[in-house]
Amino acid sequence: MAAEREAGTDALFAELLRAGESATGIAGFLAGHDLDDAAMVALLRKPVPVRFLERVASAPPWSDRPRVLGVLVLNPRTPRTLALRLLPGLYWHDLAEVAASPRVPSAIRVRAEALLQDMLPELRLGERIALGRMATPVVLRLLLEDAEPMVVRAALDNPRLREEDLLLVLRRDTVPPGLALLREIAGSRRWLACYAVRLALVLQRRTPLPIALAQLTSLVGRDLLRIAQTPDLIPLLQAAAVRVAQERGGGDRGPAA
Q: What is the predicted pLDDT for the residue at 174?
A: 74
Asked whether residue 52 carries a pLDDT value surpassing 90, the answer given is: yes
Residue 102 lies in a domain: no
Q: What is the pLDDT of residues 66-79, one digit of tens each?
A: 999 999 999 999 99
Q: What is the predicted pLDDT for the residue at 178?
A: 56
Contact of 39 with 9, CB cutoff 8 Å: yes
Rounded (10°) CA dihedral 39, 41, 45, 48: 70
- The CA-to-CA distance between both ends of the chain, in Å, stands at 52
Instruction: Give whole-number Cα distances, 189 to 74, 146, 153, 193, 194, in Å.
Output: 35, 20, 12, 6, 9
Q: What is the predicted pLDDT for the residue at 176?
A: 59
Residues 6+ apart with CB under 8 A from 160: 100, 135, 136, 137, 140
Residue 231 lies in a domain: yes
User: How many whole angstroms separate alpha carbon 8 and alpha carbon 40?
Assistant: 11
Residue 196 lies in a domain: yes
Structural domain boundaries, residue 242 = 208-257
Q: What is the predicted pLDDT for the residue at 173?
A: 83
Residues 212 and 196 in one domain: no
Q: What is the predicted pLDDT for the residue at 251?
A: 47
Asked whether residue 215 carries a pLDDT value surpassing 90, the answer given is: yes
Residue 165 lies in a domain: yes
Give the model's confidence band at 257: pLDDT under 50 very low, under 70 low, under 90 confident, else very high.
very low
Q: What is the pLDDT of residues 7-27, one digit of tens each?
A: 788 899 999 999 888 889 999
Looking at 152, 167, 200, the residue that finishes a domain is 200
Q: What is the pLDDT of residues 158-174, one digit of tens each?
A: 999 999 999 999 998 87
Give the count of alpha carbons within 13 A of 131, CB side only. 31
Residues 194 and 214 in one domain: no
Residues 147 and 196 in one domain: yes
Asked whether residue 3 carries a pLDDT value surpassing 80, the answer given is: no
Task: Give me the mean pLDDT over the 36-40 stretch.
Answer: 91
Q: pTM of the predicted model, to two decimals?
A: 0.86
Question: Mean pLDDT score of the chain, rounded to an integer?
Answer: 92
Total structural domains within the chain: 2
Residue 57 lies in a domain: no
3-state secondary structure of 202: helix
Asked whether residue 253 carries a pLDDT value surpassing 90, the answer given is: no
Residues 189 and 237 in one domain: no
Residues 164 and 212 in one domain: no
Looking at 177, 200, 223, the residue that finishes a domain is 200
Contact of 73 with 104, CB cutoff 8 Å: yes
Asked whether residue 56 carries a pLDDT value surpassing 70, the answer given is: yes
Q: What is the predicted pLDDT for the residue at 4?
A: 74
Question: What share of the chain in percent tops pLDDT 90?
Answer: 78
Rounded (10°) CA dihedral 215, 221, 227, 230: -160
Task: Give me the mean pLDDT over the 174-196 stretch.
Answer: 87
Looking at 181, 200, 219, the residue that finishes a domain is 200
Residues 162 and 212 in one domain: no
Q: What is the predicted pLDDT for the residue at 5?
A: 79
